[in-house]
Amino acid sequence: MELDRDKLDRFVDGELPPGEMERIAAVLTDSPEQNAYVVRQESLRNRLREGFHALDGSIPERLIQAARTAPASWRWRLRAAQKPNRLFRWLAPACATLLLGFVAGVSLVPQGDLVTSTSGQVIAQGALDKALDGQLASEASAGPVRIGISFRNKAGQVCRTFNNGNNAGLACHNAGVWVVAMLVRQVPEDAGAAYRMAGSEMPDAVRRAVTASIRGEPFDATMEAQAARDRWPQIRTSGH
Amino acid sequence: MEEKQLAIVRHSKMDPSLDPIRAQIIALLPRLRRFAIALTGSIADGDDLVQDTVERALKGVHLWEKGTRLDSWMFRIARNRFIDGRRSAKREGTVIAEAPEELGSASLDGEQALMAHLTLKDLLFALHRLPVEQREAVALVLIEGASYRDASDMLDIPIGTLTSRIARARESLTTALGE
């Protein structure tokens, strides 16, 4: 059996089929020179492996902390925020209908505690208006509305996602009011149990609306707080 | 899986609030760290490279295709960051160490640890004399035990190129380490 260096290296690295590994092992017993080569290479492999694996007991805390806390891509966070569940898949056609109704005519949007319609626009009111205006995403919410992410849209307006358990949506600040660009109604999972979305959850339709309208990246906590202090100013953008 | 790695995996799974992707990255840290230290030739530089890789990976985690191997993706990031760092250091005229630095702050606990420390120092010295292309092949196949197929995928080279790099590295290392 012809045993060149390449074959012997593959033997040492376990890269040959089992039958061939056995045949080579048998040949090596009668070939002292080639056997010595294999022994040297196995020794090298073991030395490298043991030398480097000795490092494993001392993983620096800073690396673990980086993995735990370094900022993750906002696109990933958006994706993770949308936790698909059987309910939402089942509801998707219904949600689409609701959204279509929203776009087709404000009169189709149910009036209620969250929104009102004025001059063809859906405007946040009550607890929603209060939360959008003054609540930071990082704050524990005492009220019914939780704020998700804040960002600037392509028109330069500040927009924020929200969720009150029964409804989730997106509103953008324009001329001193919060214009609700999207509202998705959630319904209880079953007749007897009130379904409340977790604060971080965001329906797929809202996530898509954010992705389609965002300019740059979402605000971090500092930017969000500054925008709140400045009363959510719109900035000029080219083309708007 | 070895006991130490199991401990890290357990550590990362203890916190149920931890994002699964972060838990997976924590479990990968020992492997990434060995690879980075083999590439850079120093524990301190290797740890910096791992931290940079982790931060970079999380920042671009949406680019990782779910269902593909996270380890391969992160090894590629580490390798690219290392190569980019060398290129930019060369452009800026920074002197790149020709020999591995002192091993830094590895904790020494008893004679066994001291021996491991000295062994690693010898290994890093010998590895650092190899061209980077051979070093990364050795790091993946001989140290990490990656298959030729996985290593060639991570390095984006044909298997034949990988095996010839390992063969040349073997010759240099056996001479340098007196095997």
Report the gap between the CA of B95 and the closest CA in chain A (Å).
26
A43:B179 CB<8 A: yes
Q: Which domain holds residue A109?
A: 74-229
Asked, for residue A209, whether it belongs to a domain, the answer is yes
The angle subtended at Cα A49 by Cα A44 and Cα B44, nearest 5°, is 115
Asked, for residue B174, whether it belongs to a domain, the answer is no
Counted domains in chain B: 1
Mean pLDDT for each consecutive 10-residue tract of chain A (240 residues)?
87 92 91 93 93 88 94 78 47 43 41 70 86 83 82 91 85 88 67 37 79 86 89 76
> Do residues A113 and A16 both lie within one domain?
no
Token reading at B21: 């992707």
A73:B18 CB<8 A: no
Q: Which domain holds residue B87?
A: 3-103
The amino acid present at A183, given as its one-letter code, is L
Task: List CB contacts (< 8 A) between A59 and chain B.
Answer: 8, 29-30, 33
Report the gap between the CA of A199 and the closest CA in chain B (Å).
14
pLDDT value for A184: 82
Cβ–Cβ under 8 Å, residues A109 and A96:
no
CB interface of A with B, residues 11-40, below 8 Å = 13, 15, 40
Asked, for residue A238, whether it belongs to a domain, the answer is no
pLDDT value for B105: 44
> Do residues A187 and A83 both lie within one domain?
yes
Asked, for residue B139, whether it belongs to a domain, the answer is no
Asked, for residue B143, whether it belongs to a domain, the answer is no
Q: What is the complex's ipTM, to 2 decimals?
A: 0.81
Asked, for residue A64, whether it belongs to a domain, the answer is no
Cβ–Cβ under 8 Å, residues A207 and A183:
no
> Do residues A48 and A156 both lie within one domain?
no
Burial level of B66, CB count in 10 A (0-12/13-18/19+)? exposed
Q: Which of A32, A58, A84 is the last residue of a domain?
A: A58
The Cα A106–Cα A127 span in angstroms is 20
Chosen for mutation from A38, A49, A59 (greatest number of chain B CBs closer than 10 Å) is A59
The Cα B14–Cα A158 span in angstroms is 38
Asked, for residue A234, whether it belongs to a domain, the answer is no
> Do residues A81 and A51 both lie within one domain?
no
First CA to last CA distance, chain A: 78
Asked, for residue B122, whether it belongs to a domain, the answer is no
Is the model's pLDDT at B165 over the cut of 70?
yes
> Do residues A31 and A93 both lie within one domain?
no
Asked, for residue A199, whether it belongs to a domain, the answer is yes
pLDDT value for A235: 86
pLDDT cut 90: percent of chain B above it:
58
Chosen for mutation from B14, B61, B112, B121 (greatest number of chain A CBs closer than 10 Å) is B61
Pick A99 or B144 by higher pLDDT.
B144
> Do residues A88 and A36 both lie within one domain?
no
Report the gap between the CA of B80 and the closest CA in chain A (Å).
19
A55:B18 CB<8 A: no
Token reading at A61: 């805390």
Asked, for residue B120, whether it belongs to a domain, the answer is no
A41:B170 CB<8 A: yes
Counted domains in chain A: 2
Going by pLDDT thresholds of 50, 70 and 90, the confidence category of residue B96 is very low
What is the interface size between A and B, counted as CB pairs within 8 Å?
Answer: 129
> Do residues A21 and A131 both lie within one domain?
no
> Do residues A88 and A175 both lie within one domain?
yes
CB atoms within 10 A of CB B153: 17
> Measured in whole angstroms, how far is the alpha carbon of residue B149 from the centre of its chain?
18
What pTM does this model have?
A: 0.61
Is the model's pLDDT at B18 over the cut of 50?
yes
The Cα A98–Cα A203 span in angstroms is 13
Task: List CB contacts (< 8 A) between B2 and chain A.
Answer: 53, 56
> Do residues A107 and A47 both lie within one domain?
no
pLDDT value for B117: 62
Asked, for residue A69, whether it belongs to a domain, the answer is no
What is the DSSP annotation of B34-47?
A: HHHHHHHSSHHHHH
> Do residues A29 and A147 both lie within one domain?
no
Asked, for residue A88, whether it belongs to a domain, the answer is yes
Asked, for residue A123, whether it belongs to a domain, the answer is yes
CB interface of A with B, residues 48-107, below 8 Å = 48-60, 62-64, 66-68, 70-73, 75-76, 79-80
> Do residues A113 and A176 both lie within one domain?
yes
Task: List CB contacts (< 8 A) between A76 and chain B.
Answer: 21, 61-62
pLDDT value for B171: 94
B43:A50 CB<8 A: no
Asked, for residue B165, whether it belongs to a domain, the answer is no
Closest residue by Cα to residue A156 from A238, A239, A234:
A234
Report the gap between the CA of A190 and the closest CA in chain B (Å).
27
Tokens 């001193």 correspond to A176
Asked, for residue B128, whether it belongs to a domain, the answer is no
Report the gap between the CA of B61 and the closest CA in chain A (Å).
6
CATH number of the domain to which B42 belongs: 1.10.1740.10
